[in-house]
Every structure is written in structure tokens, then in C-alpha cells.
């Protein structure tokens, strides 16, 4: 079974980009829960700023 997870946790309220350290911790937690991470894709706005990440996981 595959799932899609959206990650958009930021460091601060005024920080426009997602926190990469928190993303790495989230991926590590997902793998510890027995899921396999298939892909991580950046989601950008029309100016090219990264607003979130999409994580595709599989059990």
C-alpha cells in the first residue's frame, strides 16, 4: 500500500521555507515505523520558492 504525505513544517512563522532538519527527522521516523520512502519531491510556487515537500511512502 502506498501513501502520500505532505510536509510543510517551518522553523519560524516568518521563515518562508520548510525546515530541512525536521524533514530529515520525519523521514527517519517514517522508516522506523516500517514504511519505505520511495521519493521526496519539492513543491514550489510560481516564483520557484519551495513551500513544502511531498513524500511517497510504501508499506
Q: Please tell me the distance from the alpha carbon of residue 47 to that of residue 33, in angstroms, as a whole number.
A: 35
- Alpha carbon 17 to its chain centroid, in Å, reads 12
pTM for this one?
0.83
Report the pLDDT value the prediction gives residue 15, as an integer from 0 to 100. 67
Question: Do 27 and 19 form a contact (C-beta atoms < 8 A)?
Answer: no
Tens of pLDDT, residue by residue over 1-59, are 999 999 998 877 776 788 899 999 999 999 999 999 999 999 998 988 899 999 999 99
Amino acid at each position: 500500500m502506498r501513501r502520500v504525505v505532505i510536509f510543510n513544517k517551518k522553523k519560524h512563522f516568518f521563515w518562508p521555507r520548510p525546515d530541512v532538519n525536521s524533514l530529515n527527522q520525519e523521514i527517519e521516523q517514517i522508516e522506523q515505523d516500517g514504511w519505505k520512502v520511495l521519493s521526496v519531491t519539492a513543491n514550489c510556487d510560481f516564483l520557484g520558492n519551495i513551500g513544502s515537500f511531498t513524500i511517497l511512502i510504501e508499506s
